[in-house]
Amino acid sequence: MPRFSVIVPARGVQGYLRACLDSVLEQDRQDGDLLELIAVDDCSADATGAIIDEYARRDPRPAALHLRRPSGAGPSRNAGAALARGDYLLFLDGDDTLAPGALAAVDARLRACGDPDVLLWDHERTDVWERRRPSGDGDLLRAAGDAVFDVARQPAVLGVEPAAWNRAVRRDHWTGRGLAFADGPYEDIPYAYESLLTARRVAVLDRVCVTWRERRRGSAATTPGPHHLVAVERYEELFDRLDGLLTEAGGGEGEERAAGEEDGRLPLLTVLHARMTERLLAVLDDPDRILPADRAAFFRAASRCIRRHRPAGVPLPAGLRSYRAYRSLHGARDLRRELAKELRDRGGAAARTAGRRYYGLRRHASLDPDLVLYGADGNRAVSGNPYAVHRKAQEIAPQLRGVWAVHEDARDAVPAGADHVTVGSRRYWELLARATYLVTDGDFPGAARRPGQLCLQTHRGTPLAATGLDTHRLAAAGPGPGRVLEHADRWDFCLTANQYAGEIWERAHPSGYETLASGFPRNDRFATASAADVRAVRAALGVRPGATAVLYAPARHDLPGDAAPLLDVVRLAAALGPRFQLLVRARPHDPWPPALVEAGTVLDVSGHPHVEDLCLAADALLSDFSPVLFDYANLDRPIVVHTAGWDAFRLTRGAYVDLLSGEPGDTPGVLARDEAAVAGAFHSGRWDGPPAASLRAAFRERFCRYDDGLAAERVVRRVLLGEDDLLPQLPPGERRTAPSPRAAERVLAQECGATRTLTGPGAVVG
């Protein structure tokens, strides 16, 4: 029988769940009898359930429980506890983690105390910047010392955070006292207090055992609304049951409690009341929980509760004497905040342009329900996922009017006939203010969130280098954390091509958007292109018939901190020889010898707007650490990775995947350090051999799962047409892949042969 049953309720935490589960499983002893892990998927819409199943398949210790309907954290914990076999129950939220060695320390303390009913421990808090702060419970825990007690003799411990995850409860105590979590918000308040109030033997461990993550969005606690009134109801129910709870607990260790003696209970009631008052006032003052329209109702409910259960001699906080008094104090605080903000912003006000002021005015005008504003590649192109969404919208939602936002110096990138607007112009601010839909793979300069407006973040690719908040500790740091969060707060939808990327977006760009497991719209072309399309794009680019076209598409090398070297294209072309043709998509690069260009050995495709066309034209991809690796894998064509500079890349840019590990799912194909090694891989046949094909298949399975050719339609229907559900993914057996250039040539040869047969001598033409 395991010593501990660790129950993890999880809903919509795909970005954090792996760290949570790993932190639990790493606690176990070699004999494997320390813990069992019960992970409960509360009908998550994201990949949370899939992650739980993945862990359960590869390790016998986790048990996966999938609830049939969304139930909330409380019922999820109760369902997990019903399956538990351990001596003690521990509850850990799916976005929190256990500290290394925590369970061993808890086990040692429990044994030293003779297995008490409840053991409390300390925790720390971490925010989106991974800054860690103490809980504030340390002094209370240290004051309790090494004694084993009941709360009547140590009432101060009722002041610790009333949470599910800062205690271990003996399973016999859980079942014997009928403990359970409530249904709905603030579900841990009854459990936290009742587990202590009904316990005969309580002990503490003065050690941080849990890191609790403060989420910005995505939970009931961070969503404003009237549901926060439930906090008052929880405390009302607790105080109404208090006499019965203390009577159930009976005497303390070694002596009988004098039930009903008010003097003996006064310290306990005082601590409970003080903790309740502090908690309810914190909720009342939190604008992320209580909307202005709900503040008066919450104040009155909280004030009644605090007054009703106030112990004799305890003063009433000044702000609770009346709502007018509270508003006066609250208004003074708000005024001080506004004055401070005005002083901070005063310098920036002078720089505010007339266009931005106009934008502010037009944001009060009605939204245009049929207007979609598109932007791509820093508003310097008409390409990528936004372009694919636009094309599909023209096909299935022609009532929508799409306009592209581009910078003045990029207007030549706009195709003929496409409606567009110059960033910063008066019309730009008008459209930005009134468009119902914003579709971008980056951002619209000057944009601010507006009620009723929907912003779709398509991204430019699956991330390999660190992104968002994950960049702030790297040498080549990206935007500051404040800008990252401000940017993410404008998103309503976030696209992902695979589960891996969805987990990263949620963790590195935390906010309240909905992640769509849609696939990347631009990659639809890899499933829909025909043999004729492949031949046409090769001809348009100037690829020689019969040549093996290698697309060289390294990561961008114009970013601060880049140290990964580019291949010498001239040397590489000479090493490959005349059978090969290099399509080079790299900026910046040195000029090439005219003879090389004139011979067509090297084609500069850096200015081509659609990378998906370049991929279709290529027999193989040669890249270093570019996200195009993930897209090209859809085509199931050979990939060669140039590995020079990998250590520098990881140091300066970070890397989520170890491309050089050689492990299936990490490495997409053959690895080569320099020009000679690249040429050797092609001349030897290793580039397209069975080992490379096996690695490529595993890489494709991991990173191309959502790309099935229907991504653009899926996105248009869900976001622009407002349909409730995404189109289902096509099963693997029903998906198609664009033919390779060799296969496209065979199709052409077959077509030509059929034509000659039909029109040659003796053919019957009728």
Tens of pLDDT along 47-88? 999 999 999 999 999 999 999 999 999 999 999 999 999 999
CA distance 509 to 628: 21
Which phi and psi (to 5°) does residue 403 adopt?
Answer: -130, 135
Judge if 531 and 406 occupy the same domain: no
Residue 240 reports pLDDT greater than 80: yes
Is pLDDT at 254 greater than 70 in this prediction? Answer: no
115: which residues sit within 8 A by CB, 6+ positions away?
87, 170
pLDDT at 432 (0 to 100): 97
Q: Show Cβ contacts of residue 636 under 8 Å, excluding neighbours closer than 6 positions.
A: 696, 697, 700, 737
Cα 5 to Cα 34: distance, rounded to the nearest angstrom? 9
Same domain as 490, residue 600: no
Q: Cα–Cα distance between 221 and 137 in angstroms, integer?
A: 21
Tell me whether residue 408 is exposed, middle or buried, using C-beta atoms within 10 angstroms of its C-beta: 0 to 12, 13 to 18, 19 or more.
Answer: exposed
Q: What are phi and psi of 602, to 5 degrees?
A: -125, 130
Confidence of residue 753 (pLDDT cuts 50, 70, 90): low
- Weakest mean pLDDT among 208-222, 264-278, 589-603: 589-603
Check residue 206 and give its pLDDT.
96
The answer on 540 and 497 residing in a single domain is no
Span 470-490, average pLDDT: 79
For 410, phi and psi rounded to 5 degrees? -120, 15
Assess whether 395 and 468 both reside in one domain: yes
Long-range interactions of 506-509: CB distance < 8 A, separation 24+: 506/13, 506/14, 506/15, 506/16, 506/46, 507/15, 507/16, 507/469, 507/470, 508/15, 508/463, 508/466, 508/467, 508/468, 508/469, 508/470, 508/484, 509/467, 509/468, 509/469, 509/484
Give the model confidence (pLDDT) of 482-535 as tens digits. 788 899 999 999 999 999 999 999 999 999 899 999 999 999 999 999 999 999
How far apart are alpha carbons 446 and 455 in whole angstroms? 14
Q: What is the pLDDT of residue 258?
A: 44
489 and 565 within one domain: no
Residues 476 and 567 grouped into a single domain: no
Q: Which tens digits make up the pLDDT trace of 29-48? A: 665 678 999 999 999 999 99
CA distances to 181, 260, 500 from 702, in Å: 37, 63, 8
Residues 515 and 451 occupy one common structural domain: yes
Question: Does residue 347 carry a pLDDT above 50?
Answer: no
What is the C-alpha separation between 439 and 453, in angstroms, rounded?
11
Please check the confidence at residue 276 and state whether its pLDDT lies above 90: yes
**Does the pLDDT value for residue 274 go beyond 60?**
yes
Q: pLDDT digit string (tens) for 387-419?
A: 999 999 999 999 999 999 999 999 998 999 899
Residues for the chain: how many in total? 766
**In the structure encoding, which two tokens stand for residue 342, read together?**
């005005």
Q: What's the half-sphere exposure (Cβ side, CA atoms, 13 Å) at 28?
A: 19
> pLDDT band at 571, cuts 50/70/90?
very high
Residues paired with residue 66 on neighbouring β-strands, in sequence order: 41
Domain residues for the domain of 471 are 366-519
Both 542 and 681 in one domain: the answer is yes
pLDDT at site 588: 55
Measured between alpha carbons, how far is 625 from 547 in angstroms, rounded to an integer? 26
Match 């266009």 to its residue by tokens. Answer: 355
Provide the pLDDT for residue 384: 96
Query: Is residue 315 in some structural domain?
Result: no
Among residues 503, 701, 517, which one has the least CA distance to residue 48?
A: 503
Phi, psi of 404 (to 5 degrees): -95, 135
Three-state secondary-structure class, residue 410 = helix
Q: Is the pLDDT of residue 561 over 70?
A: no
485-494, 535-544, 749-758: which range is least confident on average?
Answer: 749-758
User: What is the DSSP secondary structure assignment for residue 128, as one 8-state letter?
Assistant: T
Task: Provide the residue type at 525 as one letter.
Answer: R
pLDDT at residue 331, rounded to an integer: 58
The predicted pLDDT at position 361 comes to: 87
Q: State both tokens at 438.
A: 């914003």
Rounded Cα–Cα distance for residues 622 and 611 (Å): 14
Does residue 480 lie in a domain region?
yes
- Quick check: is 687 in a domain? yes
Q: What is the pLDDT of residue 751?
A: 76
Token duo for residue 308? 């009703």
pLDDT confidence bin for 277, thresholds 50/70/90: very high
Direct distance between the N- and C-terminal alpha carbons of the chain, in angstroms, rounded to an integer: 83
Examine the pLDDT at 218 and tell me if it is beyond 90: no
Helix (H, G, I), strand (E, B) or coil at 528: helix
pLDDT of residue 324: 78
Give the separation between CA 384 and CA 57, rounded to whole angstroms: 37
For residue 614, tell me if it sits in a domain: yes
Alpha-carbon distance of 500 to 629, in angstroms, equals 14
The confidence score (pLDDT) of residue 633 equals 98
Residue 383 and residue 410 in contact, taking contact as beta carbons nearer than 8 Å:
no
Give the model's pLDDT for residue 33: 79
* Domain identity same for 513 and 530: no
Please give the average per-residue pLDDT across 232-260, as a whole number.
69
Alpha-carbon distance of 11 to 565, in angstroms, equals 43
CB proximity list for 290: less than 8 A, separation 6 or greater: 224, 228, 283, 284, 298
Cis-peptide, bond into residue 588, ω within 30° of zero? yes
What pLDDT digit, counting tens, does each position of 452-461 carry? Answer: 999 999 999 9
DSSP characters over 615-650:
HHH-SEEEESS-THHHHHGGGT--EEEE-TTHHHHH
**Could you tell me if 538 and 506 lie in one domain?**
no
CB-count burial class (<10 Å; 0-12, 13-18, 19+) for 45: middle
Report how many domains make up the chain: 3
- 628 or 320, which is more confident: 628
Among 94, 112, 145, the domain-final residue is 94
CA angle 77/78/81 to nearest 5° reads 85
Asked if 121 and 91 touch (Cβ cutoff 8 Å), the reply is no
The residues facing 603 across adjacent strands are 583
| Domain contains 359 | no
Residue that is last in its domain, among 94, 124, 153: 94
% pLDDT > 90, the chain: 73
406: left (phi over 0), alpha (psi -120 to 50) or beta: beta
pLDDT band at 267 (very low <50, low <70, confident <90, very high): confident
pLDDT single digits (tens) 626-677: 999 999 999 999 999 999 999 999 988 999 999 999 999 999 999 999 999 9
Considering the domain architecture, whether residues 535 and 460 belong to the same structural domain is answered as no
Domain co-membership, 427 together with 564: no
Q: How many helices (H) and strands (E) does the chain have?
A: 28, 22
CATH of residue 642: 3.40.50.12580
Long-range contacts of 754-758 (CB under 8 A, 24+ apart): none
Structure-block tokens of residue 566: 């580019």
Q: What CATH code is carried by the domain that includes residue 508?
A: 3.40.50.11820
At 411, the amino acid letter reads: R
Supply the pTM of this predicted model: 0.84
Q: Considering only CA atoms, which of 186, 185, 146, 188 is closest in space to residue 169?
A: 188
Is residue 178 in some structural domain?
no
For residues 643 and 565, give the distance between their C-alpha atoms in angstroms, rounded to a whole number. Answer: 9
Q: Which residues pair with 421 in a beta bridge?
A: 405
* Other Cβ atoms within 10 Å of 317 Cβ, number: 14
Mean local confidence (pLDDT), 81-99: 97
- Tens digits of per-residue pLDDT, 677-723? 999 999 999 999 999 999 999 999 999 999 999 999 999 999 999 99
Residue that is last in its domain, among 655, 682, 704: 704
- Judge whether 200 lies within some domain: no
Antiparallel, parallel or unpaired: β 602-604 and 580-584: parallel
Look up the CATH number of the domain holding residue 5.
3.90.550.10
Residue 205 lies inside a defined structural domain of this protein: no
Looking at every residue in the chain, the average pLDDT score rounds to 89
